Structure 1
Amino acid sequence: MATPTIIIIGGGPAGLFCAVHAAGEGRQVLVIEKKKSCGRKLLITGTGQCNLTHTGEVAGFFDHYGDHGKFLRPALRGFTNRNLVAFFEERGLSTVTEPNGKIFPASRKAADVLSLLLEECRRMGVEIRCDEAVEEVAATEKGFTVRTGPSSYHADALVVATGGATYPSTGSSGDGYAMARALGHTVTAIAPALAAVEVRAHPFADLAGISFEDLSISLFRENKKVREQTGDLLFTHSGLSGPGILHLSRYITAGDVLRISFLPGMTRESLVGDLVEKTASNGNRLVRTILNDYPLPERFIRKLLEAAGVAADLTSAHLDKKARNRIITHLIEWPLTVQALSGLDEAMVTRGGVSLDEVDQKSMASKLVPDLYFIGEVLDIDGDTGGYNLQAAFSTGFSAARAIARGEL
């Protein structure tokens, strides 16, 4: 093979999509993948069903990337969710949209998405070399040198699409961060995102599997409220999960306190008034039966009374103010201290990565090194669940490919 003009390191969705759109018009593209096959992480997204993107106007996407949605605006506008659906459907892969807005391939098979990307690479003349880990990258006067175990390559343009550091068994083990540093770039602190939370002295371990919808979850650090999130919550054996926790996890560190309101829409004042009225007018009813009037699972109510020090057979007439206030506190702002986030081997995506200050948001090109690009999860970007991370991968891959195609390579 002649020396490739463009080398893309990483055969995940961002890398393959970039390769498809960068190839052609005399440009030779080589994708180097360290695993024996491409797209290992893509195959497990959405439990193997591959949540490609989300429905709605693309402007609604910007708030789903934490504090970094602004950086992605040009990429998402340049290649939208509608563009992505059209790309797949025009090539024979139909999609389906769920009531919650998630878009999947109609076959519900991530393997079909990967097969289509690989076929498009083949059609466009992209060469893919698997089972070849990159050991060294260096900028030269006329491009880049990329050295693997068996070979050394020259490239006029280099695209780093190595993914983050989560699910390392799929190949996403943080290699791109070392490459970025070797090329003079800053890498921000790496941590799990879209991660479950382990809780100290977990009070709900025996309630694992119970879930709640649209709860209000507040994040406190050193007694100061720093974030708030609304979303579904799931009790696990070691702590908390569910979209509300996963989306908040990018901001959480060990030692933080989560205060959970299990009655969304009710303030402390409104609950005090409501509970006082119910207990005063129903003195013979058990406290736990009065709590059953609220949309709360029976097993949770029993745990709540235990935590508040209220006997299960206590009647409303015997509920004193202090005990009532303890119940209200647990319902409106139950405090749980974070022990840790689930590890990089369990979190869905990586928080941190190549500093966005050093990357052009329109082209994904390095501001420090000519003809160097960073795309996908290797960047300091992490999205919410619902297809936002894959959309970012495809959109940043497309942005880099368009910039390369518009250049003089």
Structure 2
Amino acid sequence: MTAASSSPSTAPSIAIIGAGPAGLFAAEILSARGCRVQVFDRMPSVGRKLLMAGRSGLNLTHSEALDRFLKRYGNAQDWLEPAIRAFPPEALRQWTERLGQPCFSGSSGRVFPKAMKASPLLRAWLERLAQQGVTIRTRHRFVGWDGSTPVFDTPDGRISVHADATLLTMGGASWSRLGSDGLWADLLPEDTAPFAPANCGFMPNWTADFAIRHEGSVLHSVGLSFGGQQSRGDLTITTRGLEGSALYALSAALRDAIQRDRQAVLTLDLRPTLSAEDVLKRLLAQRERESQANRLRKALALDAPSRELLRLATPKNATPLQLAQTLKALPLSLIGMDALDRAISTAGGVRRDAVDARLMLTSRPGVFVAGEMLDWEAPTGGYLLQGCFSTAYAAANGVLGWLESSSSAIA
């Protein structure tokens, strides 16, 4: 094992492991404060998951009121709140615009760069980091510590890298082909909770034939409710089940129920803009000789998969009243989740009780954690990226505070 060369500078040296948004943002903060920063990543290039997110429009954050925004983090709200208040959505928007990427808020309140893509933002960001002296080393897989020194496997063999502090930002356990494989959890077995899919698809208790016949169909603007929570949006039928942001918003509660009870009964409102009375009036206005399918299609513009779901959930000769009531509260049993690696994000990771208020591991002084490595989850809509940036901001400032307190103690 050989030690990587070090600079003669007396500035603190920081090793950041993971070159996603959290790692790069922490590198920017720390290098701007005079630290010598090296960023390591196992992949051949950086920001791969960020670039993938930008393919459908890079949703940076959300413009809703901060108090409402914070509630999106569920059980982790009080844990993440100090970090998000210290670096809130407006700060992220301003940071993006200082990189030459103006932003806008969509009709849903989601905030995007006007370019929509992640690549212009990432290019400008990497230029800034280079100007600040940040060194990025790819194809470096973190394999653990030699005492307190980080160790990496590289194309040139195994090396150790001296660092006065280390910040881990290696992501969760989904989309391993983009770099987040979650294998780092084996290095911190006492500090981590098991991974579970979040913002994922679910498998309804319907036949394979139904999924094949309706694959790619979209249930447009349906209402969803489960466990007192509600959401609304489009659901896409796939051969693996159902996907869509409205479903992702309820994924934590649905996942927990399936793990506990082996199923979760989701309630669909196929026409949330109409009352049950309005639905009934429209059905009764149709000719009696019309088939049920034609009544539903003409009166309510229900597509084929919606009509079939309604038929399966009602008696064979359902009355208009039964159809109206079921259409507004259609039960759909979910019996499983999509694979962990296919989830947009993951729950689990470094537990709250394993880090202090500075996001430093209590078991490893001088080692900090940020981003999706931490055990929090949030729905899509800008909350995921905001959480990564805000916890990186908190951890970077935690590093600076710890370095200052350590040097003061030595002095």
Contact 1:365 1:373 in 2 (8 A): yes
Shift of 1:211: 2.3
Question: Which residue is equivalent to 1:195?
Answer: 200
What displacement does 1:237 show?
Answer: 2.8
Question: 1:69-84 counterparts in 2 under 5 A?
Answer: 69-84=77-92
Shift of 1:295: 4.1
Query: Is 1:395 the counterpart of 2:390 in the alignment?
Result: yes
Which residue identity does 1:100 align to in structure 2?
A: S
Q: How do 1:138-177 residues align onto structure 2 when only pairs under 5 Å count?
A: 140=147, 144-149=148-153, 150-177=158-185
Residue 259 of structure 1 contacts residue 336 of structure 1 at CA under 8 Å; is this kept in 2? yes
2:37 & 2:388 partners in 1: Cα distance? 18
Distance of 1:279 and 1:331 partners within structure 2: 15
How far has the Cα of 1:24 moved from its partner? 4.3
* Partner SS for 1:151: strand
Q: Kindly report which structure 2 residues correspond to 1:249-288, keeping only aligned pairs within 5 A, or say none.
A: 249-251=251-253, 252=255, 253=258, 254-264=262-272, 270-271=276-277, 275=280, 279=284, 283=288, 287-288=292-293
**Paired residue type of 1:234:** L
Which structure 2 residues correspond to residues 7-406 of structure 1 after superposition, within 5 A? 7-47=15-55, 49-137=57-145, 140=147, 144-149=148-153, 150-181=158-189, 184-185=190-191, 187-202=192-207, 203=210, 205-207=212-214, 208-218=216-226, 226-238=227-239, 239-251=241-253, 252=255, 253=258, 254-264=262-272, 270-271=276-277, 275=280, 279=284, 283=288, 287-288=292-293, 290-292=295-297, 295-300=300-305, 302-304=307-309, 306-307=311-312, 323=319, 327-328=323-324, 330-361=326-357, 363-406=358-401
Deviation at 1:304, TM superposition (A): 4.7
What letter is aligned with 2:266?
A: L
One-letter amino acid matched to 1:27: C
Give the residue type in structure 2 aligned to 1:118: L
Among all aligned residue pairs of Structure 1 and Structure 2, give the percentage whose two residues are the same amino acid.
29
1:382 match: secondary structure: coil
* Secondary structure in structure 1 of the residue aligned to 2:149: strand
Contact 2:23 2:392 in 1 (8 A): yes
| 1:265 CA displacement | 6.7
How far 1:91 sits from its partner (Å)? Answer: 2.7
Distance (Å, rounded) in 2 between the aligned partners of 1:285 and 1:43: 51
Distance 2:285 2:298 in 1: 15
Distance change (3 Å), C-alpha of 1:42 and 1:155: same
Aligned positions, number: 382
Q: Deviations over 1:19-56 (max 9, x none)?
A: 11012454211111111111111110142532111113
TM-score, reference length from structure 1: 0.83
What TM-score results when the alignment is normalised by the length of structure 2? 0.83
Q: Provide, for residues 226-262 of structure 1, a one-character-per-residue CA deviation record: whole Å limited to 9, x for no partner.
A: 4533221313133222211112122323532323232
Distance 1:147 1:297, change over 3 A: same
76-85 vs 397-406, which moves further? 397-406
**Rounded Cα–Cα distance in structure 1 between residues aligned with 2:122 and 2:165:** 24
Cα distance in 2 between the residues matched to 1:397 and 1:278: 55
For the structure 1 residues 274 and 191, does the alpha-carbon distance in structure 2 shift closer, same or farther, using more than 3 Å as the test? closer
User: Distance between the aligned counterparts of 1:309 and 1:376, measured in 2?
Assistant: 46
The range that moved more, 159-168 or 208-217, is 208-217
C-alpha spacing 1:302/1:90, structure 2 compared with 1 (3 Å): closer
Aligned equivalents of 2:282, 2:302: Cα separation in 1: 22
State whether residues 176 and 378 of structure 1, in contact with CA within 8 Å, keep that contact through their aligned partners in structure 2. no
The one-letter amino acid of 2:337's match is L
Structure 1 pair 278/343, CA: closer, same or farther in 2 (3 Å)? Answer: closer
Q: Residue 247 of structure 1 aligns to which amino acid in structure 2?
A: A
Tell me the distance in 2 between the aligned counterparts of 1:349 and 1:7. 25
Q: Is the 8 A contact 1:22 1:401 kept in 2?
A: yes
Corresponding residue for 1:221? Answer: none
- The letter for the 2-side match of 1:97 is S
- The aligned amino acid for 1:383 is A
- Separation (CA, whole Å) in 2 of partners of 1:337 and 1:281: 31
